[in-house]
Structure 1
Amino acid sequence: MGRKTTISLSLATLFSASLAVLSACTGHPGASDPPLSDRQFRLEEFFDGPLVARGQFQDRFGTVRRQFEVKINGVWDGKTLTLTEDFVYEDGSTEQRIWTLHKTGETTWEGTAPGVIGMAKGEILGDRFNWKYTIDLPVPSADGPAKTTRVSFDDWIWLQSENRAFNRAYMMKWGVTLGDVSITFEKL
């Protein structure tokens, strides 16, 4: 191998490593971020009853790829919070996801839904809730039925008022951010 080939390989390796570091360092909220208000997020209160949510998926380059509306019916029975989510996408396709969540401590939650790998884990941090999970997510396909891809979510929901919350969910695969989902929840 000549010196020119070695330099080219070294530059290619450096460029690849730089891209990996940059994509891993995109700004995401963190547990140490200060609260935005003195509100206390009580998941079992906010999500108990009917809600409507509107949102969109945006890829890592900022292009909006899908928009949707979700009708949510939440039921808190004192131990379990069940969220039935009925999605309608802009192309007319639909999807239903039913989450079953359990309060595991004063500020901690865990839960599952069809397609979720293992157990989703969450923590309330004052006026926000952080929810992390891995899921086999249906992806629309132009050439037939939807396929699935395994992705991880780092979900952040901020309580903005008694009846409104804002959600930003960062979608990752192999540690690289693919995009994010922005959703506004409104209690009915």
Structure 2
Amino acid sequence: MSIKTSLSVLASSVIIASCSSLDVNHADGREPALIPQEFFNGKLCADGVVRDRSGAAIRHFNAVLYGSWNDLGEGTLDEVFYFYDEPGASPVEETRVWTFSPVTTEEGTALQASAGDVPEPTLMRWAGNAISMSYTLRYGEPGDTIDLHMDDWMFQVADGVVVNETRMSKFGLHVGQILLVMRKVPESHSCL
């Protein structure tokens, strides 16, 4: 197969994949309902893995999240991740702070979501037991970063328990995946 033919097939695959994206409304009516202002309020624990494009787990992590909301419906979610890259090594700590503001779109109510390592604000949409966000994550240290497209899906599978799958891509090509479980916990609970 020639390089020109290979590039045409690759471009077609990327276009088809982008056209077939799932809409969050497919989950409308599914229970238990996942409402961001309720689930992301208070303390949460998360545990997960990062997989490379072949599916191999290359990192695992624990996280502590704190969410809060004001009377205007604006929210903050503080995330502290502890990544374990090498057996026996100390964890690598990474933080992110999301801010949320309510907005009205043609599809209905959504939240505009912003974070320091997300160069452009994105929309968080939800229906039934699902939340969807699609955004660019600028990962790495200043002067040595990579922009990854994140296609983020969350599903509440039981009261206070959410499964999160994030597909990562670069230039339209799949490069990895993050799988994690988040659960609401009392303030006194230790996540680590």
Query: TM-score scaled by structure 1?
Result: 0.81
Alpha-carbon distance in structure 1 between the residues aligned to 2:2 and 2:21 = 32
RMSD across aligned positions (CA): 2.5
2:171 to 149, 174, 187: 174
Deviation at residue 157 of structure 1 after TM alignment: 0.5
Contact 2:97 2:116 in 1 (8 A): yes
Is the 8 Å Cα contact of residues 107 and 125 (structure 1) preserved in structure 2? no
Aligned twin of 2:123: 121
The answer on 1:61 being equivalent to 2:54 is yes
Q: Does 1:47 align with 2:40?
A: yes
Query: Is there any run of 5+ residues in structure 2 with no aligned partner, and where?
Result: 86-90, 186-192
Letter in 1 for 2:75: L
Kindly state the Cα deviation for residue 37 of structure 1 after the two structures are TM-superposed: 2.7
Q: Please, which of 9, 34, 56 is the counterpart of residue 18 of structure 1?
A: 9
Cα shift at 1:148: 1.8
Judge conservation of contact 2:24–2:131 (CA < 8 Å) in 1: no
8 Å CA contact 1:29–1:156 kept in 2: the answer is no
Counterpart of 2:84? Answer: 90
The TM-score with structure 2 as length reference comes to 0.79
Does 1:152 find its partner at 2:149?
A: yes
Q: Is the 8 A contact 2:25 2:126 kept in 1?
A: no
- Between structure 1 and structure 2, the one with the greater Rg is 1
4+ aligned runs moved over 4 Å, structure 1:
19-24
Retained in 2: the 8 A contact 1:163–1:186?
yes
Q: Percent identity?
A: 24
Q: CA deviation at 1:13?
A: 2.6
175-184 vs 35-44, greater mean Cα deviation:
35-44
Using a 3 Å threshold, how does the CA distance of structure 1 residues 111 and 126 change in structure 2: closer, same or farther? Answer: same
CA deviation string 1:44-96 (max 9, x = no partner): 00010000001111112111121111100111123211111011011311011
Deviation at 1:146, TM superposition (A): 9.3
Letter matched to residue 133 of structure 2:
W
